[in-house]
Structure 1
Amino acid sequence: MQQKSLFNVQKKQKISYSGKKKTHTFKIQAIVHYKTQEILSLSMCKGSKHDFELFKENLNSIPEKSFILADKGYQGIYEVYDKSLIPLKAKKGQKLASELKFYNREINKRRIGIEHVFGKLKSFRILCERYRNRGKRLGLRFNLIAGIYNFQLAK
């Protein structure tokens, strides 16, 4: 009697599966205007992809002559897009100097408005709970939500 080998059989997972989170995930990246807080551009991907990798793939969707304020996850953004600012990280086992902390604080003061936009978008429950619809339609639905948000700003 033959024994079946279960070790060599790999599970076929969809593209949207994230091994880190052990579930199917989607990532949406938004470009928000600093002063008007209007959503300018959206980009979406399925599965586990780093924010910076998604940013590099969608460089052409960035409006011309725009300046980018990003978080610490975008290390190396200066090589790809020179008109940008990110907070500085402390080296391993060391603390940041007081001038660098002040620099980070000034960047984060300007970024907080953008984070408030994401908080307002989460008032649409489709974004803050489990997405139960078709994955193909998530980009369309998020574009509609962004359009509604921009329309509310215009009032």
Structure 2
Amino acid sequence: MVDKKTRQVICTDFSNGKKHDFRLFKKSKILIHPKVKVITDTGYQGIQKIHNNSELPKKKSKKNPLTKNDKKNNHRLAGARVVNENVIGMLKRFKIIADKNIEIDVKDSLLDLI
């Protein structure tokens, strides 16, 4: 999770990439204040049951294609997620979360890096 204004990593949990995003989120037991708006990607289907103040893109199906309004809303959400994706990319680029043997204090060191 990344603060959109400050670009600071608020909290993090990660795995080897084989674990579904939402399953990893639930396992982390991260608590989000109800007033905080959470904008996620489609990997977090079901987060609205845990956190009411969350938005995620609408998925299309064969029987229910997206309307122009749905596409516009999905585009808006994608734009709002850009900061988060950029920070994740930076963490990966500098191999901060790529090395399995790295030992850092996530609460202190990771926040100082950004």
- The normalised TM-score by structure 2 is 0.79
Higher strand share: 1
Counterparts of 1:123 and 1:142 in 2: how far apart (Å)? 19
Q: Stretches of 4+ moved more than 6 A in 1?
A: none
Give 1:32 shift.
0.7
Counterparts of 1:148 and 1:84 in 2: how far apart (Å)? 27
1:146 matches 2:104: no
Which runs of 5 or more residues in structure 1 are unaligned?
Answer: 1-30, 151-155
1:1-150 paired onto structure 2 within 5 Å: 31-45=1-15, 48-59=18-29, 61-64=30-33, 65-92=35-62, 94-127=64-97, 131=99, 134=101, 138=102, 140-141=103-104, 143=106, 146-150=110-114
Give the total of aligned pairs.
112
User: Do the aligned partners of 2:32 and 2:51 also contact (CA within 8 Å) in 1?
Assistant: no
Give 1:63 shift.
4.1
Counterparts of 1:45 and 1:126 in 2: how far apart (Å)? 13
Deviates more, 1:47-56 or 1:67-76: 47-56
- SS of 1:100 mapped into structure 2: helix
- The normalised TM-score by structure 1 is 0.61
Bigger RCO of structures 1 and 2 (CA < 8 A, at least 6 apart): 2
Give 1:82 shift.
0.8
- SS of 1:102 mapped into structure 2: helix
Max Rg structure: 1
Give 1:149 shift.
1.8
Counterparts of 2:41 and 2:94 in 1: how far apart (Å)? 24
What letter matches 2:5 in structure 1?
Answer: K
Give 1:47 shift.
7.2
- SS of 2:80 mapped into structure 1: helix
From the superposition, tell whether residues 149 and 89 of structure 1 become closer, same or farther in structure 2 (CA, over 3 Å): same
